[in-house]
Amino acid sequence: VQPKPYRLIVLGGGSAGWMAAAGLRRLLGEDYEITLIESDEIGIVGVGEATLPHIKLFNDMLGLDESEFMRETGGTFKLGIEFRGWFQAGESYIHPFGAFGEPWRGVDFQHYWMRAKQAGKDVLPLQRYSYSVQLARRDGFHFPDNDPQSIGSTFSYAYHFDAGRYADFLRRWAMQRGVQRIEGQVCEVLHDQDNGDVRGLRLKSGEEVSGDFFVDCSGFRSLLVGDALQSPWQDWTHWLPCDRALAVPCERAGELTPYTRSTAQPGGWIWRIPLQHRTGNGYVFSSSFIEVDDAATALVAQLDGAAHAEPRLLRFAPGRREQAWRNNCVAVGLSSGFLEPLESTAIYLIQAAVIDLARLMPSSGSARADPRLAAEFNRLFGMHYERIRDFLVLHYAANERVGEPLWDYVRAMPLPDTLAHKIELFRARGTAPNYQFGLFSRDSWLAVLEGQGIVPLSHDPLAEATSLEDTADRLAKLSARIEGRLEGVASQAAFLADYCRPEHARGAAA
């Protein structure tokens, strides 16, 4: 007897819904039937246009062709994020998706750099010792070198893309592989009377869609996990006071920068995300510190080119659900929580949830979702959110923008203990946090700790096993290798123009 398929219902389109549908279609067997419900009337938030390098693993898992993907989504390459004015006005640093120097004798690079600097040697700024920062500053791009000895291998890359187009691209991918799509708006959630599980959804059309397991990608509304199942909300506004964003696309102009730009403002910060066909912009701000009209004026004044529309206002609250998985429902994406897009983590959080969910998904024959699996999913979900939260808060807490009320507030606010400890350790000896699971890497922490102007008082004494002269010599050679590799490197604009030609696509080449 053929067992009846296990019915997965994904509620909501957009990047979260289609990433979940496509990812689960790829990872689960044919005994899972996947249906996605989306409404043409409900818009998608669609500001998650900047990503982290992990997205490449997700796309590779689906088997997407990179050139085709970039063409379809108007994608550009991203080597990191530039933070302008975060430490103080006029300062700028890049958080690269790459290393600073190389570890020598098992000791992290920055300790040698600090030691030489503290001893009065003539050293360059830390940013000059990161290949990916320098590649980004030249608006260049190439794929990481295969030879691990090459300094040109010490980075990875992500993308900027049009999130709406990405969702469309994944929709086509998923529907070609059997994911069913229902157009409609949910008006009622139907529960099992005995155990409270969700059994089905009633649509405005009167249609009832029943399922065994539900993935809630309904965005800020959080229809299932938030509304129907009442997973409590943990509010983080006291650490991340921004609660509004204005988003506006504009005409592309100037050099095609291979990085996201984040510029600090009196009431928050402005993002700039260059795509092939337009530039995405937005002002993330705190309604306690700036009026929306003033924010709109500041945003429009900073655009590279003509605005494509009026700025669109989004409201949000920073924080997360206590549990993303309750009963037989898992929230993925904005329905599970929100962190401002300062470090482009929204799409990563979706991806991590999809991968964890595939591993912990109820077996196709099971009668009910196993609370032991939910507990593990929720533990991982909490870890992901809290690690990112600490990293974001760091950008605000360490600032010298004295006299601006928002910045004065975040400089003085009590920090999460886990973050305060990391900052103190860096200040004492320049050691950057290093852990195995979740975001962010040691190099990322280093980039932001140093970039935000925290000056270590000392360095790891193990670095002194190398003499000061040898250290200075190696630093000089390192920067020479970086400069050497950068010679003649193509601009990202030129690289993309070539790479995105249709004949580059795998299918066309055959």
CB of 355 to another protein, least distance (A): 10
Contact with another protein (CB under 8 A) among 147, 176, 372, 507? 372
According to the binding rule CB under 8 A, does residue 457 interact with another protein? yes
Q: Which is nearer to another protein, 139 or 356 (CB)?
A: 356
According to the binding rule CB under 8 A, does residue 480 interact with another protein? no
Q: Which is nearer to another protein, 411 or 427 (CB)?
A: 427
- Phi, psi (rounded to 5 degrees) for 325: -115, 115
According to the binding rule CB under 8 A, does residue 361 interact with another protein? yes
**Within 10 Å of residue 62's Cβ, how many Cβ atoms?**
17
According to the binding rule CB under 8 A, does residue 354 interact with another protein? no
With CB under 8 A as the contact rule, which of the stretches 265-273, 335-343, 408-416, 454-462 interacts with another protein? 454-462
According to the binding rule CB under 8 A, does residue 358 interact with another protein? yes
Name the CA dihedral angle for 500, 501, 507, 510, rounded to a multiple of 10 degrees. Answer: -130
CB of 379 to another protein, least distance (A): 7
Contact with another protein (CB under 8 A) among 28, 42, 296, 505? 28
Could you give the C-alpha distances from 167 to 15, 59, 163, 173, in angstroms and in order?
A: 5, 12, 6, 10
CB of 1 to another protein, least distance (A): 18
Q: Which is nearer to another protein, 358 or 476 (CB)?
A: 358
With CB under 8 A as the contact rule, which of the stretches 48-56, 120-128, 145-153, 355-363 interacts with another protein? 355-363
Could you give the C-alpha distances from 76 to 79, 256, 264, 499, in angstroms and in order?
A: 10, 8, 23, 11
Q: Which is nearer to another protein, 272 or 387 (CB)?
A: 387
According to the binding rule CB under 8 A, does residue 366 interact with another protein? yes
According to the binding rule CB under 8 A, does residue 460 interact with another protein? yes
CB of 148 to another protein, least distance (A): 20
The contact pattern for another protein, residues 402-441, with x = CB under 8 A and - = no contact, is: -------------------x--xx-xxx-x---xxx----
Helix, strand, coil proportions of the chain in percent (round to 5)? 40, 20, 40
Structural tokens at position 428: 């004492």
According to the binding rule CB under 8 A, does residue 109 interact with another protein? no
Contact yes or no for 129/450 (Cβ under 8 A): no
DSSP assignment letter at 151 = G
Question: Regarding beta strands 6-11 and 213-216, do their DSSP bridges make them parallel or antiparallel, or are they unpaired?
Answer: parallel
CB of 375 to another protein, least distance (A): 6
Tokens 């979702």 found at: 369
Could you give the C-alpha distances from 298 to 189, 266, 403, 404, in angstroms and in order?
A: 42, 10, 19, 16
Of 244, 300, 236, 305, the C-alpha closest to 277 is 305
Cα separation, 42 vs 57, whole angstroms: 30
Contact with another protein (CB under 8 A) among 363, 402, 507, 510? 363
CB of 421 to another protein, least distance (A): 6
With CB under 8 A as the contact rule, which of the stretches 210-218, 233-241, 451-459, 479-487 interacts with another protein? 451-459
According to the binding rule CB under 8 A, does residue 360 interact with another protein? yes
DSSP-assigned letters across all residues of 85-96: SSSSTT-EEEEE
**Within 10 Å of residue 339's Cβ, how many Cβ atoms?**
22
CA angle 306, 311, 312 (to 5 degrees): 145
Structural tokens at position 432: 């950057």
Cα separation, 280 vs 260, whole angstroms: 10
According to the binding rule CB under 8 A, does residue 472 interact with another protein? no
According to the binding rule CB under 8 A, does residue 307 interact with another protein? no
Number of residues in contact with another protein under rule CB under 8 A: 37
Contact with another protein (CB under 8 A) among 32, 97, 129, 325? 32
- 363 three-state secondary structure: coil
Residues with catalytic function:
78
Question: Regarding beta strands 337-338 and 198-203, do their DSSP bridges make them parallel or antiparallel, or are they unpaired?
Answer: unpaired
Residues that bind another protein in the complex, under the rule CB under 8 A: 27-29, 31-32, 358-361, 363-364, 366, 370, 372-373, 375-376, 379-380, 421, 424-425, 427-429, 431, 435-437, 457-462, 464-465
